Amino acid sequence: LAATPHAQRSRAQVKVELRAAFDELPFTALIDAVENAVGTPVQTAVKREDEQAFAKLNADNLMFCEDAARRVAAALASDARVERYDVTVSHFESLHAHDAVARVSGMGARS
């Protein structure tokens, strides 16, 4: 890694078109797959005593928005339930007047 990503807040917007043949909507499975691909869970409310553990996890898993977008895309591309996907990852920059944004789209795995 020639550079270090800035500490910032991020958001992943994920749109998925599912194949017609499935028994139920796999919301939880898809959310879990995206979170596992990125490697840092969503932190909606963190108790002070847990904050250091989350900070260490994030520091051990540095990535640019392009890295996060590729990881999410790889997870969705390998899912046989996914027909198409569109992923936009935004890092809300604290040091610049603009945000960093990466977008990727593609097709899911063929069974």
Residues 56-81 have pLDDT tens digits of 777 788 888 999 999 999 999 999 89
Highest mean predicted confidence (pLDDT) among 4-13, 24-33, 37-46, 56-65: 24-33
Q: How confident is the model at residue 25 (pLDDT cuts 50, 70, 90)?
A: confident
Give the residue-averaged pLDDT of 83-105: 89
Q: Does 94 score more than 90 pLDDT?
A: no
Report which secondary-structure segment, H or E, holds 91. Answer: strand 82-92
Place of tokens 């260490």: 56
Amino acid sitting at position 51 = E
Entry pTM: 0.82
Other Cβ atoms closer than 10 A to 92: 13
Q: Are 6 and 95 in contact (CB under 8 A)?
A: yes
Q: Are 85 and 10 in contact (CB under 8 A)?
A: no
